[in-house]
Amino acid sequence: MKNQILNIVLPVLNEQACLKDNVEQVCAFLESHKIPYLITIADNGSTDDTPAIARSLCDQNKYIEYMRIEQKGVGRALSECIAKNSSRHEPCEFIGYMDIDLSTNLEHLQEVYTQLLNNKNIVVGSRLLKHSRVYNRSLKREISSRGLNILLKVFLNTKFSDAMCGFKFYQHAYAENISTKCYKDNGWFYCAQMLIVAQYMGIPIYEIPVIWHDDKNSKVKILRLSLTYLKHILTLWLKKIKGQL
Judged by DSSP in three states, 31 sits in helix
Distance CA 217, CA 99 (A): 13
Closest to 32 measured CA to CA, from 113, 86, 102, 91: 113
Residue 107 has pLDDT above 90, yes or no: yes
Greater pLDDT, 158 or 232? 158
**In degrees, to the nearest 5, what angle opens at C-alpha 35 toward C-alphas 54 and 182?**
70
pLDDT tens track for 64-99: 999 999 888 999 999 999 999 999 989 999 999 999
Is 168 strand, coil or helix? strand
Model confidence pLDDT, tens digit, residues 186-212: 888 999 999 999 999 999 999 999 999
DSSP string, 84-153: HHHTSSS--SEEEEE-TT--B-THHHHHHHHHHHTT-SEEEEESSSTT-EEES--HHHHHHHHHHHHHHH
| Mean predicted confidence (pLDDT) in 149-156 | 92
- Cα–Cα distance measured from residue 24 to residue 29, given in angstroms and rounded to the nearest whole number: 9
Select from 71, 16, 21, 61 the least CA-distant residue to 40: 61
Measured distance CA(89)–CA(76) in Å, rounded: 22
Cβ-contact 35, 57 below 8 angstroms: no
Q: Kindly tell me the burial class for residue 28, based on how many C-beta atoms sit within 10 Å of its own C-beta (0-12, 13-18, 19 or more).
A: exposed
What is the value of pTM for the model shown? 0.92
For 136-153, what is the mean pLDDT?
86
With contact defined as beta carbons under 8 Å apart, do 51 and 68 qualify? yes
Residue 1 — very low, low, confident or very high, per pLDDT cuts 50/70/90? very low
